[in-house]
Structure 1
Amino acid sequence: MSGLSKTERAGCLTILRSLSKADLMSLNDTVTNKMIMVEDVTEAIEAILSFTKNAEELLRRKKVQRDLIFKYLAKEGVVMPPNSEKHQLVRRTLELWSRKVQNRSLQGQMDETRQRQATETPSDSPDLKAEGGFDPQVLGQQFCQWFFQLLNSQNPSLGQPPQDWGPQHFWPDVKLRLLSKAGSEQMDEFLGAELVGLRLQALTKEEHLILSPNLENHGLRTLVSPHGLVLVAVAGTIHRDLACLGIFEKIFGLIRSPLENNSWKIKFVNLKIRGQDALGGTEVAAPALSYNSSELQLLCR
């Protein structure tokens, strides 16, 4: 009897579909101890999933090669160092699936909170910090996972259909401040939902970058102002194909839109990019935020 959760089963299914027919037939014989005879790829995959005790067991099988797991993680927006060993990729994949299960539970809680808040008048909840069930750090994690998966899906090199990117995710007067340090320093500003959306999309769609956020405590911080602005600051690494090009720090200002079911929309974005040559040998595997709380508080005003 399979011990896979729905999330693990879906992930294993995706990975198995990238195996050749010969490897799938061989893997079926191994997993089922040749007890189940199958005639085609579909039957082989179903038998393998049904007889797998747990996800780690399947990922560690020889036929599930390191490169297949590496490519799967990349398509999920999780970029690992090119020299990662298979056991590191397996561990990261299991962490990803575990986090997805937690997020689905959290998303349900967030949806309930949002539905409740949609029925409240503005005077019922003047301060977000006072609302029951509202956790800014959870919102920050949820938002970053949603935003970077959406943005990375625009990158054609990942071979996945682009998700619904566009100006609808921004306030009409949104402002993007882009500071890049790669040899020389350059500052650009963009104003308006259309321009900001197009410039951010160009990072992945035209420049073929992948932005991988660090959602651990030292890489993610959220602040809430008394006026309803939620500040989400996140650090991460920038990749193109298998190469790590540098790190980024991104600060989002989020405000609810009362006309759109109180959904969160982006009011401003400050993006700082540092190339490898500007890092001076700094460790980039899981970059930490350089902004302190005082600097972030200033942006809340």
Structure 2
Amino acid sequence: MQGLSEKECAGLKNILSSMTAGDLMSLCDTVTNKMIVVENVTEAMETILSFSKNAEELLKRKKVYRDLIFKYLAKEGVTMSPNSEKHQLVKRTLELWSSMKVDEAKQPATSVLADTQGEVGFDPLVLAKQFCQWFFQLLNSQNPSLGQQPQEWGPQHFWPDAKLSLVSRTAIEQMDEYLGAELVSLRLLALTSGERLLFSPNLEPHGLRALASPHGLVLVAVAGTIHKDTVCLGIFEQIFGLICSPLAENSWKIKFVNLKIRGQEALGATEVAAPCLSFSPSELQLLCS
């Protein structure tokens, strides 16, 4: 696979695997000028990667549709406007691959993060960013419209007395509360698995905040957009309360989740591409005390 880095190969395989068999075979013919006959989609994929000069050339091919790249970025936790043109998505994907460290991408946040807590100068923002990358990748993987293998979701990621507060504001406002790891886990799962929503967090400074209390609770607040297929339905703001588990080494579990969802109709003409957090530091401080 000359010309492609390990990160580019992994990302391109991910995108190619979401193509239809017909499109994949057709793309293989184009890339090889019909000089190579392949027997199946696996061979087609390997051949396409082998014959592509670089990642940009392959991403720009007609059969690699804009929507496939958009969904790939959403899975990787990259916020893009639903109106982004294909060339913008290609540019952002190449940036992601050039900046991504393979080990970081593979390690779940729950094991990466706890190591840092005992160190001098523990930075809750580093924990917040890694936690959000892990959490939303895990939650989005449950969405059947992405056509990927769901990662291991379940009550094991929550404390037994976990609490979820869910406020949704579309035409009317509705608030629900769920208690216990099992119920909290099932309700969040229903958002992606049943309702087929995709969460795209904004991990830039204005979309992410973190706060650590002296008692070991870390608050993570994040804003982002919610999508269904390629339609942007609105924005969300979410606060997580995380506590490190003393029994399982290097493992953070979720103590509570406050999730606020606002549909497009409740937003008016507000720009939703990269939403900012509306929570003030004093509001977060109150939750931390």
TM (norm. structure 2) is 0.86
2:13 is the alignment partner of 1:25: no
Q: What corresponds to 1:154 in structure 2?
A: 142
Q: Deviations over 1:78-114 (max 9, x none)?
A: 5744543110110222233245327728959995774
Structure 1 residues 99 and 266, CA gap change in structure 2 (3 angstroms): farther
2:6 is the alignment partner of 1:6: yes
Aligned counterparts of 2:199 and 2:232: Cα–Cα separation in 1: 10
Q: What corresponds to 1:251 in structure 2?
A: 239
Q: Select 2:127's aligned residue among 139, 144, 161.
A: 139
Aligned counterparts of 2:162 and 2:112: Cα–Cα separation in 1: 28
Q: What corresponds to 1:91 in structure 2?
A: 91
Choose between structure 1 and 2 for higher RCO, CA contacts under 8 A separated by at least 6 residues: 2
Q: CA RMSD in A?
A: 2.9
Q: Deviations over 1:116-159 (max 9, x none)?
A: x7xxxxxxxxxx4x723733212111111111111112222222
Q: Is the 8 A contact 1:113 1:133 kept in 2?
A: no
Larger radius of gyration: 1
- State the 1:20 CA deviation: 2.9
Structure 1 residues 66 and 280, CA gap change in structure 2 (3 angstroms): closer
Aligned counterparts of 2:251 and 2:262: Cα–Cα separation in 1: 32
Q: Deviations over 1:180-217 (max 9, x none)?
A: 21122222111110111111111112222111111111
Q: Is the 8 A contact 2:206 2:277 kept in 1?
A: yes
Q: Structure 1: where are the runs of 5+ without partners? A: 118-127
Aligned counterparts of 2:44 and 2:267: Cα–Cα separation in 1: 48
Aligned counterparts of 1:104 and 1:90: Cα–Cα separation in 2: 22
Q: What corresponds to 2:37 in structure 1?
A: 39
Q: Structure 2: where are the runs of 5+ without partners? A: none
Q: What corresponds to 1:163 in structure 2?
A: 151
The code of the aligned residue for 1:219 comes to: G
Structure 1 residues 155 and 105, CA gap change in structure 2 (3 angstroms): closer
SS of the residue 1:138 aligns to? helix
Q: Which moved more, 1:247-256 or 1:6-15?
A: 6-15
Aligned counterparts of 1:109 and 1:211: Cα–Cα separation in 2: 17
Describe how 1:32-181 pairs up with structure 2 within 5 A.
37-40=35-38, 45-50=45-50, 52-74=52-74, 76=76, 78=78, 80-101=80-101, 104=104, 114=114, 128=117, 131-132=119-120, 134-181=122-169
SS of the residue 1:218 aligns to? helix
Aligned counterparts of 2:209 and 2:114: Cα–Cα separation in 1: 21
SS of the residue 2:265 aligns to? helix
The code of the aligned residue for 2:10 comes to: A
Q: Is the 8 A contact 1:79 1:239 kept in 2?
A: no
Structure 1 residues 111 and 257, CA gap change in structure 2 (3 angstroms): closer
Aligned counterparts of 2:113 and 2:147: Cα–Cα separation in 1: 35
Q: Select 2:197's aligned residue among 184, 209, 213.
A: 209
Identity %: 69
Q: Which moved more, 1:56-65 or 1:72-81?
A: 72-81
Q: What corresponds to 1:220 in structure 2?
A: 208
Q: Deviations over 1:238-271 (max 9, x none)?
A: 1112221111100000000011114000011111
TM (norm. structure 1) is 0.83
Aligned counterparts of 1:236 and 1:62: Cα–Cα separation in 2: 30
Structure 1 residues 169 and 105, CA gap change in structure 2 (3 angstroms): closer
How many equivalent pairs are there? 283
